[in-house]
Chains A and B, each alone.
Chain A
Amino acid sequence: MQTNSSRWSGHALYLLIMAMLLSGVYFAGQKIDYSWHWERLWPYIVNTESQDIVAITDGTALVDESGQLTIQPDFGGDPQVVQRYDTLVSRNGDLIFQGDTIARIDGWRFGPIAQGLWVTIKISFISLIFAVLLGIIFGLMRVAHGQVWRNLALTYVEVIRGTPLLVQIFIVYFFIGTVFDLDRFTAGVAALSIFTGAYVAEIVRAGIQSVPVGQMEAARSLGMNYAQAMLYVIMPQAIKRTLPPLAGQFINLIKDSSLVSVISITDLTKAGREVVSGSFAPFEVWFTVAALYLLVTGGLSWMIQRLEKRLAASD
C-alpha cells in the first residue's frame, strides 16, 4: 500500500520534471530565430474587429436627426437604410459609390479556428452516433447464429480495417459521393462512421463474448427470446465491459476526423493550415490546434469515466 508521504513526494517530483520539460521547450523556442506573436492568433479565434458596412448602390448619404443613415440612389431605385452602426464613416451629403465603406459596426464573431473546432466537434459527434449504431448492428451480426450474417459482418470488418482511412475518405467522396450525389460533409461523416464502426463492431463482439454463456442460458430458461435476452441481460453487461476500449476508439475518431480536411472540409486542422498562411505564425497556430484537440478528447474521456463510475454500482 502506498503511503501518503510517498504519494506527495511523487507528485512533487512529477511537477519538477514537467517544469523542466516545459522550460526546456520555452528556452528552445527563445533560442531559435523566430519571433513569437501569440497575440496575432486572437482574431482567428474570436474576431472583435469592427465590421465594415458597405454601400450597395451609388448615391448620396443622408444622415437625419435620429442618426439614421440612408443612401439615396442617384438614378432611382430603393434607398439603402442603415439603422444599426457604431461609427459613421460617411458624412451627410457625401457622394457615395457602390462598395464604399459608409459605417462600421462593433461586435464579435468566431474566427476560422473556432469555426473549425465547431466543425470538428460536429463531424466527430455525428460520426460517433452512426459508428455506434453500425458497431452494434455488425457486432451482433458477428455473434449471430446464421452463418450468412457472420460472413457479412466479418467481410465488413476485414475490408474496413484492412484499408487506410485516407483512401476510404477518397473512395467515399469521389466514388460513392458521385453515385449518390453526397456533399462533402455527408461524405466525411459516412467515411468516418464506416471506418470507426468496424472497430466498434469488434469491441462489441468481444464484449458480448466476454459475458459468460450462463447469462444467456439463465435468460432463455426464464422464457426470454434471443432479442430480449440480448437487450436486457447480455448487452448491459457487454457495454459496461466495452466502455474503456470504446473510449479509446472515440478519441481515435476525433483525431481521425482531421483527415477529412483532404476533401476540403474546413475542420480544425484545415482551419489551422489556412490560418498559418494568413498569420505567418505557424508554431503558435499548431500549438493552439493541438491544445484544442486535447480539450475535446479530454472532455470525452472525462465523460466516459463518469459513466464508468456510475455503471460500477453493481460491482
Chain B
Amino acid sequence: MTDINETVKPLPLIQAKQVNKVFANGCHALKDVSLDIFPGEVVVIIGPSGSGKSTFLRTLNQLESISSGHILLDQVDLTDSRTDINKVRADVGMVFQAFNLFPHKTALGNVMLAPLKVQRQSKAEAQQTARDLLTRVGLADRFNNYPSRLSGGQQQRVAIARSLAMKPKALLFDEPTSALDPEMVGEVLDVMKELAKEGMTMVVVTHEMGFAREVADRVVFMEDGELVLEETPERFFDSHHPRLQRFLGQVL
C-alpha cells in the first residue's frame, strides 16, 4: 500500500496472486500465475491447447480449486473458507464453450432461473429482465424456444444473456466461439464487442486473434501453465518473443 502507483491506479477487480494448480494425477497445470484485471478492462488469454488458459479462467470463479496462491475479487479472497463462494460466483458470469444451456428450459426460462432462485426476484421482474437481455442479444423472436430448437450461435447468445441476468461485475468467456460453425462466430463476437463497449469487465479465452487485436485492452499469452507474456494488443502482436512467435506461426 506504500507504492505511489496504488493511489492513482484503480484497484483491480480480479487479482490472481501466484496461483498454482496441481491436478490429482500430478499434472502441474498452473505455475505461479499472477494477473490483475481492472474494472472495465477486456483481457484476452491465448495460448496452445493444454497451456492451462481454460484452467486459469475456471479458477477465477473457483469452478476449479487452486493448490496454492490467492484469487481476490473486489479485495475478497475466494480461497478463504469464510467467503461465501455462491455469492462470489453470482458476481462473476461465465460463458462456456459448449454453451451449457439448461435443455429443459426455454430461452426465457434459462435466463430467468438464477434471478428467480438465487436472487429471489419476483417472476414479473425476472421475466422483464430476461426479455430485455434476450432482445439485447438479438433474440427477441426466440423467447419460448427450447435450446434444441436454436442454432449454436443463438444458444451462445442465450448463454451470454443468462450470465448477464445476474448483473455480474465481470464475465469470463471460455472459448465461446470454438464450438460454433464459422458463419455463427460473428454474431457471438458482435455481442461480446457490444458488451466491451459498454464497459463490461471481461476475461476471454479464445483463438480469435482478430477479436484480441480489435477489442482487448491487454492480451496474455500462456504456455505450459505459465503466463509468458502480457501486453497491449499492438505491442503483443509485434512482439518478437520466441515462444509467442512459434505459437502465432502455428495458428495464423
A binds B: yes
Residues of A within 8 A of B (CB): 212, 214-215, 217-225, 228, 232-233, 236-237, 240, 311, 313-315
> Which of A222, A311, A314 contacts B166, CB < 8 Å?
A222
| CB-defined contacts of A219 to chain B, threshold 8 Å | 102, 114
Among A218, A237, A311: residue with most chain B CB under 10 A:
A218
Do residues A217 and B96 form an inter-chain contact, with CB atoms below 8 A?
A: yes
- Chain B residue nearest to A211 (CB atoms) is B103
A289 to B101, CA, bound (A): 49
A219 to B100, CA, bound (A): 9
Interfacial residues of chain B within 55-106, with CB under 8 A of chain A in the complex: 61, 63, 86-87, 89-94, 96, 98, 100-106
Do residues B86 and A225 form an inter-chain contact, with CB atoms below 8 A?
A: yes
Do residues A232 and B96 form an inter-chain contact, with CB atoms below 8 A?
A: no
Known: A221-B61, A221-B93, A223-B86. A314 touches B117 (CB 8 A): no
Among A223, A224, A225: residue with most chain B CB under 10 A:
A223
A79 to B87, CA, bound (A): 79
Known: A221-B61, A222-B166. A237 touches B103 (CB 8 A): yes
| CB-defined contacts of B11 to chain A, threshold 8 Å | none
Task: List, sorted by A's number, 18 A–B pairs whose CB atoms are closer than 8 Å.
Answer: A214-B96, A215-B102, A218-B101, A220-B63, A220-B89, A221-B94, A221-B163, A222-B89, A222-B90, A223-B166, A224-B117, A224-B118, A228-B118, A232-B113, A232-B117, A233-B102, A236-B104, A315-B146
Do residues B63 and A222 form an inter-chain contact, with CB atoms below 8 A?
A: no
Q: How far is the CB of A168 from chain B (nearest CB, A)?
A: 36
Taken residue by residue from 102 to 121, chain B's Cβ proximity to chain A (1 for < 8 Å, 0 otherwise) reads as 11111000000110011000
> Which of B86, B93, B118, B148 contacts A314, CB < 8 Å?
B148
Known: A217-B63, A232-B113. A223 touches B90 (CB 8 A): yes
Q: How far is the CB of B110 from chain A (nearest CB, A)?
A: 9
Q: Is B53 an interface residue (CB 8 A)?
A: no
A233 to B116, CA, bound (A): 13
A311 to B105, CA, bound (A): 11
Interfacial residues of chain B within 117-142, with CB under 8 A of chain A in the complex: 117-118
| CB-defined contacts of A212 to chain B, threshold 8 Å | 98, 100
> Which of A215, A224, A233, A236 contacts B86, CB < 8 Å?
A224
- Chain A residue nearest to B106 (CB atoms) is A314
| CB-defined contacts of B103 to chain A, threshold 8 Å | 237, 314
A236 to B89, CA, bound (A): 23
Known: A221-B89, A223-B89, A232-B113. A240 touches B104 (CB 8 A): yes
Q: How far is the CB of B201 from chain A (nearest CB, A)?
A: 16
| CB-defined contacts of B91 to chain A, threshold 8 Å | 223
Q: How far is the CB of A243 from chain B (nearest CB, A)?
A: 13
Do residues A237 and B104 form an inter-chain contact, with CB atoms below 8 A?
A: yes
Q: Is B207 an interface residue (CB 8 A)?
A: no
| CB-defined contacts of B118 to chain A, threshold 8 Å | 222-224, 228
A219 to B118, CA, bound (A): 10
Taken residue by residue from 182 to 204, chain B's Cβ proximity to chain A (1 for < 8 Å, 0 otherwise) reads as 00000000000000000000000
| CB-defined contacts of B89 to chain A, threshold 8 Å | 220-223
| CB-defined contacts of B147 to chain A, threshold 8 Å | 314
- Chain A residue nearest to B145 (CB atoms) is A314
Q: Is B162 an interface residue (CB 8 A)?
A: yes
Do residues B102 and A218 form an inter-chain contact, with CB atoms below 8 A?
A: yes
A285 to B250, CA, bound (A): 80
Q: How far is the CB of A42 from chain B (nearest CB, A)?
A: 49
Do residues A222 and B96 form an inter-chain contact, with CB atoms below 8 A?
A: no
Q: How far is the CB of B24 from chain A (nearest CB, A)?
A: 14
A197 to B90, CA, bound (A): 36
| CB-defined contacts of A220 to chain B, threshold 8 Å | 63, 86, 89
| CB-defined contacts of B163 to chain A, threshold 8 Å | 221-222
Do residues A314 and B146 form an inter-chain contact, with CB atoms below 8 A?
A: yes
| CB-defined contacts of B93 to chain A, threshold 8 Å | 221-222
Do residues B114 and A222 form an inter-chain contact, with CB atoms below 8 A?
A: yes
| CB-defined contacts of B101 to chain A, threshold 8 Å | 218
- Chain B residue nearest to A223 (CB atoms) is B90
Do residues B100 and A218 form an inter-chain contact, with CB atoms below 8 A?
A: yes
Known: A223-B86, A225-B86. 17 other contacts (CB 8 A): A214-B96, A217-B63, A217-B94, A217-B96, A218-B94, A219-B102, A219-B114, A220-B89, A221-B61, A222-B90, A222-B93, A222-B162, A223-B89, A232-B117, A233-B113, A236-B104, A314-B104
| CB-defined contacts of A315 to chain B, threshold 8 Å | 146, 148
A311 to B146, CA, bound (A): 12
Q: How far is the CB of A306 from chain B (nearest CB, A)?
A: 18
| CB-defined contacts of B159 to chain A, threshold 8 Å | 218
| CB-defined contacts of B104 to chain A, threshold 8 Å | 236-237, 240, 311, 314
The 5 closest A-B pairs by CB, nearest first: A223-B90, A218-B100, A222-B114, A214-B100, A221-B94
| CB-defined contacts of A218 to chain B, threshold 8 Å | 94, 96, 100-102, 159
| CB-defined contacts of A214 to chain B, threshold 8 Å | 96, 98, 100
- Chain B residue nearest to A236 (CB atoms) is B104
Q: How far is the CB of A242 from chain B (nearest CB, A)?
A: 14
